[in-house]
Amino acid sequence: MKTQWNFGVWARGARGGLLAAAAVLAVPAIYGGEKMTANPATKTETALATFAGGCFWCMQPPFEKLKGVEKVVVGYTGGKKANPTYDDVCTGTTGHAEAVQVTYRPSEISYQELLDVFWVNIDPTDFDGQFADKGSQYRTAIFYHDETQKKLAAVSKDKLVKSKKFDSPIATRIDPAETFYAAEEYHQDYYKKDPWRYKAYRAGSGRAGFLQKTWGADH
């Protein structure tokens, strides 16, 4: 792990472990006004949503616990190298970002609701990564899969700007979805495989404290 913080190197390099349960916390209502929705979907129809929010270990649990979400995979996207490995992406030279790809049922949860969860799990003002992890591979971004997602993402970002929740500019990008490469198996559901080290990393990196201070809860 290429990071400026030694504790993060130790915590994120660990393997194995036990199963952990994630507590369900309410997401603050930060957007108002007109609600934009996609076309109605059947109960079995699924769609994809892709988000980059720094450490993908920390972005998987908030989405996995949502009703209407079928699957969340951590991986790499937005870069040039085909089939990148974790070590490749950690160099910061491939152009990829650590990301999560969410398979969800639009009949049960809207893309707008997924956006709400995304925003309250990041620091959207950081242009150089997230918390202890610095570099373009830890940038925040919304990767839209169609024009409706693009419009919804733009509206949600604009509302966050107008809310004046943050004094600094919003750095999160809105980019078209590109090829998504699933990360190595040991990265999938890391919070379940090694809950102690996951929690230590989340707290020590500064993410947990920032979310608590900013949103009133560590989601």
- Residues carrying an active site annotation: 55
Q: 94, 84 in Cβ contact below 8 A?
A: yes
- Contacts for 22 with CB less than 8 Å, ≥ 6 apart: 61, 62, 64, 65, 191
Task: Please report how many Cα atoms fall inside a 13 Å half-sphere around the Cα of residue 24, on the Cβ side.
Answer: 4
Tell me, what amino acid is at 206? G
Would you state the structure tokens that stand for residue 45, as one six-digit string? 């129809």
Q: 65, 24 in Cβ contact below 8 A?
A: yes
